[in-house]
Structure formats: structure tokens, C-alpha cells
Amino acid sequence: MQITPFEIYKLLFDHFGYQDWWPVEKDYHKRNKSDPRFEIIVGAILTQNTAWKNVEKALFNLKSNNCLTVKKVLETDIENLRKMIQPSGFFNQKASRLKNIAYFLNENYEGDLNKFFNLDLQEIRKKLLSLNGVGSETADSILLYAGNYPVFVVDGYTKRICKRLPLIIEKETYFKIQQYFEKNLQKYLDIKDLVSVYKELHALIVKLAKNFCKTKPDCTICPLENNCLKRL
């Protein structure tokens, strides 16, 4: 029995409820007059190859040192930056990537994210992908969660459920999965709702994969049990 991305969204939303992802500390940015979208950009880099709980520790260190703006990342000695983000792992690479993206935003947009996110979707995606260490998942996370562009994020968890559910996807590549999800969801949703649903569905898939659809799945209590190819 085939299942569609929209049906997955409805089933997971009914089971888990509203996820409100990506988390940012709005009060912090209000107090410091900083841009919360930069926290999302930083988080998208830090979350590469690590669990979010480790990212939270690194973000806490950056906030404690008032180092969560384009200007502050540029001004901070890279060794100090490495120490602050150490909990996220691969801190040498990630410190360089944070420096690179801060330099890019400062040189081209004077550190103004309003100018940066005023670009066309394809243009901004191309620019993000040109930066060292920014792949499709990182770029699309920034586009969706920081820029509010209608682009669905495909991560390792999404690829996992695509292998276990009866979804009709030509090839399980990043682009094909993304195209499949977007095309189906656009049939059922108004344009104005795409961004919020893309955010929610991505977060719901992460929730599913962490709680039930693990490497060794726990199918018996999974909300998608009746649709899973491992159970059919």
C-alpha cells in the first residue's frame, strides 16, 4: 500500500504534534540586538555530523561569550572559536566554516541578513553551495529555517524512512527525494503554507527516526507501523 509525503505529515503530526523547529533563543537576541537568523546559520554548520544536544552546548558557549553575530565571529581569534564550539565535534573544520560564512556575509552584504535573504531562491542556494563545507542539507536548512524559503530539507533520517516506506521515488538521491516530497505536498497545500509544513515535516521525520525508525527500528509502536515495508 503506497503512502504519500502528505499522508506521512498528517500521521506524524497527529501523533507527535507541533514541533516548532528550528529553536532559537529569542530573548537573547532581543537583549543583545542580534539577528536570530544568524544563530540558525551557525547551528546549521555546527549540527553537521553530531547530535543537537552537542550543538546546544556549543551555542551556549558562543552566547556566553557574546559571539553570535557576523562581526563577532570575524573578530574572534580562531583558537578561541574552536574552544567555544568544541562540544559540537570536528571543531577545527567547523570553526573555519563559521569564519568563511561570516566573511562571505560581511564582504558581500555588510553582515546584513536582510540583504542576503532578499535574493532569489536559486541564486542564494548557489551562493551557499559555493562556500566550503556547505552541502545541500546545510544550504537548504539555512534557506528554509533562516530565510523562510519554500525548500524541503532532506537529511539522513529522511533517506532512511524513504527506504522503509512504500514511496514511489525514482532514485533515492538528495534531489530526487526533495523533488518528490515538494511535488506531492504542493498538490495539497496553499503556497503560503508550504514553508511552515516543510519545517514541521522535517522536524517530525527527525522525531520519528529518533524514537521509532532507528537504525534498529522499533516498529511495534511506530505511528507508521501499518505502512512500513518492514512490517507489510
- 179-55-203 Cα angle (round to 5): 35
To the question of domain 5-20+152-227 being in CATH 1.20.120, the answer is: no
Per-residue pLDDT of the chain (232 residues; tens, 9 = 90+): 689 999 999 999 999 999 989 999 999 999 999 999 999 999 999 999 999 999 999 999 999 999 999 999 999 999 999 999 999 999 999 999 999 999 999 999 999 999 999 999 999 999 999 999 999 999 999 999 999 999 999 999 999 999 999 998 878 899 999 999 999 999 999 999 999 999 999 999 999 999 999 999 988 889 998 888 765 4
Question: Domain segments of the chain: what residues?
Answer: 5-20+152-227, 26-146
Assigned CATH topology for domain 26-146: Endonuclease III; domain 1 (1.10.340)
Which residue, among 68, 64, 71, 22, has the nearest Cα to 42 in the 3D structure?
A: 68
Residues in the chain: 232
pTM passes above 0.75? yes
